[in-house]
Amino acid sequence: MSRFVDRVVIHVAAGSGGNGCASVHREKYKPLGGPDGGDGGNGGDVVLVVDNNVHTLLDFHFRPHAVADSGKQGHGANRDGATGEDLELTVPDGTVVLDANGEIVVDLVGHGTRFIAARGGRGGLGNAALASKARRAPGFALLGEPGETRDLVLELRSVADAGLLGFPSAGKSSLISVLSSAKPKIADYPFTTLVPNLGVVTAGDSVYTIADVPGLIPGASQGKGLGLDFLRHIERCSVLVHVIDCATYEAGRDPLSDIDALEQELARYTPALGGTLADRPRMVVLNKLDVPEARELAELVRPEIEARGLPVFEMSTVTRAGLREFSFALAKVIEEDRASKPTPEATRIVLRPTAVDDSGFTVEHDPHDDTGFVVRGERPDRWVRQTDFNNTEAVGYLADRLARLGVEEALAKAGAVPGCPVTIGGVTFDWEPSTPAGVAVMMHNRGSDPRLENNARIGATERKAAKVARRTPFEEMLDEDDE
């Protein structure tokens, strides 16, 4: 038996960004060629893509770990590192993505719909990109950021217009097999169908899909039989069809009590996609009417079912009597439902919602340390991740960035004193303010090379003239790039 897997837990890890490169251009007779370290490449994303040719989540069951390529590091001579390739994972239409807490992250419907499950880390800037007028020869580069990692649950909720419900052996699979070209397993023992079957039905100009789910028995909501798990496959159905076995010899079963029992189980099911199953239009198929006793029973109960407002269809999947009438009636209800809903977009491109505003930060007292402070914010966190703490220049650059954002000022206002521990992005520093609080932050000449500025005995005007004369394309570039 082919295995059908409709719920898996996957672990996705996007690629990390490559580190930027710190390098100085070398050329004969040009000892100070300027910084030429390239940027690191961005890490690849892990992307889920809906593919109509994929029908189960089985692959993920065997390979639950998905890791995208990392970006390569930058090199000298302004060569940027290669970008890590995105990893595309194909999923069936109707895959619902949930986070580790069971909250729905996104519902993937429509061939080609894409969802970035984990975003690749950004590559670090090389020292060429970090150069500015005030910092002409940075002796450091930024680190690439780690890629996102997430645990996600994928659940398949089949996309079908109509769902067939009924007791085991009522003839649901038989019905789908005569309505469509689907060839499900049919047998006279209960729970023949263990996994939902989908079929495509053509009735006149109308084309719709129909899902046959495992048999439902009283107590399914408490886990009896196959339980209610598979009902997720009818959550999207706009019509629910009760398939009733009128030829059963089982004690205590008759069409009316069967309908009641099925309705009771449906009422106990809470669709994860929201809404309820109660408001879906219902139809009743009285099946196996080729059996004479079944026909008599059907005649008997038909008025009562109709009195409940349910349309009744008499059927025999063996002789195919009643088949055409039912398939056209079902088409009519489905078409009406489609007309009442906004036309679904064929392909929706779903992207992960990004943070609305990443510019802010907060300063709080450290709950674990009376004298300490914690700074939280998207940008400060990122800057810390990008910093190579073995490089004092890189640490100085971080301090400048934080000061410019106003972190120093905010710390001073919050009562931080020099030397107190400050935690940002999981790293704790001894706070050494580089500026007195409240004073506008000036750019520091970090990363400047003393030889570039050895101009002590030259006056300002001479210096300017000399500079214009010496102007190289490299410096022009820096001027444009100035922060």
Of residues 166 and 380, the one with the C-beta less far from Mg ion? 166
Side chain identity at residue 385, one-letter code: R
**Which one among 103, 188, 205, 357 touches ligand GTP, defined by CB under 6 A?**
188
Q: Is 172 in the site for ligand GTP (CB under 6 A)?
A: yes
Of residues 9 and 187, the one with the C-beta less far from ligand GTP? 187
Distance, in Å, from the CA atom of 244 to the CA atom of 338, rounded to the nearest integer, reads 26
176, 197 contact by CB (below 8 A): yes
Query: Read out DSSP for 297-360?
Result: HHHHHHHHHHHTT--EEE--TTT-TTHHHHHHHHHHHHHHHHHHSPPPPS-----PPPPS--S-
Distance, in Å, from the CA atom of 46 to the CA atom of 86, rounded to the nearest integer, reads 6
Distance, in Å, from the CA atom of 58 to the CA atom of 421, rounded to the nearest integer, reads 50
Q: Is 187 in the site for ligand GTP (CB under 6 A)?
A: yes
Distance, in Å, from the CA atom of 240 to the CA atom of 212, rounded to the nearest integer, reads 10
The binder of 433, among Mg ion, ligand GTP, none, by C-beta within 5 to 8 A per type, is none
Instruction: Determine the interface stretch with ligand GTP among 42-50, 182-190, 381-389, 400-408 (rule: CB under 6 A).
Output: 182-190
Q: Are strands 162-165 and 197-203 parallel, antiparallel or unpaired?
A: unpaired
Of residues 230 and 397, the one with the C-beta less far from ligand GTP? 230
Q: Is 201 annotated as a binding residue?
A: no
Of residues 108 and 216, the one with the C-beta less far from ligand GTP? 216
Distance, in Å, from the CA atom of 159 to the CA atom of 328, rounded to the nearest integer, reads 20
Measured torsion, CA atoms of residues 2, 4, 10, 12, in degrees rounded to the nearest 10: 70
Q: Is 168 in the site for ligand GTP (CB under 6 A)?
A: yes
Collapsing DSSP to helix, strand or coil, 409 comes out as: helix
Instruction: Determine the interface stretch with ligand GTP among 119-127, 155-163, 181-189, 198-206 (rule: CB under 6 A).
Output: 181-189
Instruction: Read off the DSSP letter of residue 75.
Output: B
Q: Supply angle C-alpha 81, 151, 149, rounded to 5.
A: 20
Q: Is 243 annotated as a binding residue?
A: no
Of residues 318 and 414, the one with the C-beta less far from ligand GTP? 318
Q: Is 8 annotated as a binding residue?
A: no
135, 448 contact by CB (below 8 A): yes
Q: Is 192 in the site for ligand GTP (CB under 6 A)?
A: yes
Residues 264-293 that bind ligand GTP (CB under 6 A): 287-288, 290-291
**Which one among 54, 141, 170, 228 touches ligand GTP, defined by CB under 6 A?**
170
Q: Which two tokens stand for residue 240?
A: 């629910």
Q: How many Å separate Cα 295 from the centre of its chain?
A: 51
Instruction: Determine the interface stretch with ligand GTP among 93-101, 145-153, 165-173, 301-309 (rule: CB under 6 A).
Output: 165-173
Minimum gap (Å) between residue 167 Cβ and ligand GTP: 7
Q: Is 42 in the site for ligand GTP (CB under 6 A)?
A: no
Q: Which two tokens stand for residue 281?
A: 């239009």
Minimum gap (Å) between residue 247 Cβ and ligand GTP: 6
Q: Is 327 in the site for ligand GTP (CB under 6 A)?
A: no
- The dihedrals phi and psi of 23, each to the nearest 5 degrees, come to -150, 150
The binder of 206, among Mg ion, ligand GTP, none, by C-beta within 5 to 8 A per type, is none
Q: Is 250 in the site for ligand GTP (CB under 6 A)?
A: no
Q: Is 180 in the site for ligand GTP (CB under 6 A)?
A: no
- The dihedrals phi and psi of 39, each to the nearest 5 degrees, come to -80, 155
Q: Is 191 annotated as a binding residue?
A: yes
Q: What residues are designated binding site for Mg(2+)?
A: 173, 193
Note the residues at the interface with ligand GTP (CB under 6 A): 166, 168-174, 186-188, 190-193, 214-215, 287-288, 290-291, 316-318
